[in-house]
Amino acid sequence: MADTGAARSTARTLERRRATPEGAARLGVVVAAGAALCFTRTDPVGALAGSALLGAVLFCDVARARMRSHRRGVPAPWLVAMLSQLREYVVYLGLAVGGALAGVPGSWGWAAGALVALALRDSLLSSRDREGALRVLAFPQPVRFLVIAVAATLWDPRAAFAAVITGCVLAVTAVLVHPAGSRR
């Protein structure tokens, strides 16, 4: 997501209200919970609202990145990382519940498969040098959220989970095929 004037002004507003980057990360979890709640609906309105809220989660990330954290002390990067993972798990929960309520067969199995694929991707990519890797090949969270938003809006939760699994498999494959990253 591009660094916009809206993100800069939001960051300034958060700073004036004495918010920290960790507070902005917590806000992202709350917005993700709203997206998950929308994804539990079994109609297109729920999918569209959930997708819009996923965009708002990513906007929170951009605003958090624009905050001048040195003014408030040292941020806790581990807390931000944990909250980032938590919000994704909450979204998956909402998709699985929505799929189950809509009668999509195997919603919980697809959710479990997506979590396993994500865990494998995260463990492999965190153990490797990722410098110079393309955004898209590493399948970072913003790309995963975009994939979820499109698949959940156009199809159903099963398609969203299948897309996440496929993206994670491609990311793992890219690292295994070219494990040295961009070293030349």
Smallest Cα–Cα separation from 7: which of 66, 55, 51, 75? 66
All residues at 6 or more sequence positions from 177 whose CB lies less than 8 Å from its CB, including other chains:
none
Average pLDDT over residues 26-30: 94
Burial 19-47, CB ≥16 within 10 A → b, else e: bbbbbbbbbbbebbbbbbbbbbbbeeebb
What are the residue ranges spanned by the domains of the chain?
5-177
Is the pLDDT higher at 178 or at 93?
Answer: 93
Q: Where do runs of H (alpha helix) occur along 68-155?
A: 77-102, 107-126, 135-138, 141-154
Task: Give, in degrees to the nearest 5, the angle at Cα 84 between 12 and 49.
Answer: 80
Residue type at 77? P
Helix (H) or strand (E) holding 66: helix 44-66
CATH architecture for segment(s) 5-177: Up-down Bundle (1.20)
Contact 119, 66 (CB under 8 A): no
pLDDT per residue as tens digits for the range 124-162: 887 765 544 557 678 999 999 999 999 999 999 999 999
CB 153, CB 44: distance < 8 Å:
yes
pTM (2 d.p.): 0.86
Of the candidate ranges 20-24, 27-31, 66-70, 146-150, the one whose mean pLDDT is the lowest: 66-70
Compute the average pLDDT of residues 69-98. Answer: 84
Residue 98 has pLDDT above 90, yes or no: yes
* Top-ranked range on mean pLDDT: pick from 9-18, 109-118, 121-130, 136-145: 109-118
Mean pLDDT over residues 29-49, rounded?
96
Which pLDDT score, from 0 to 100, does residue 23 have?
Answer: 86
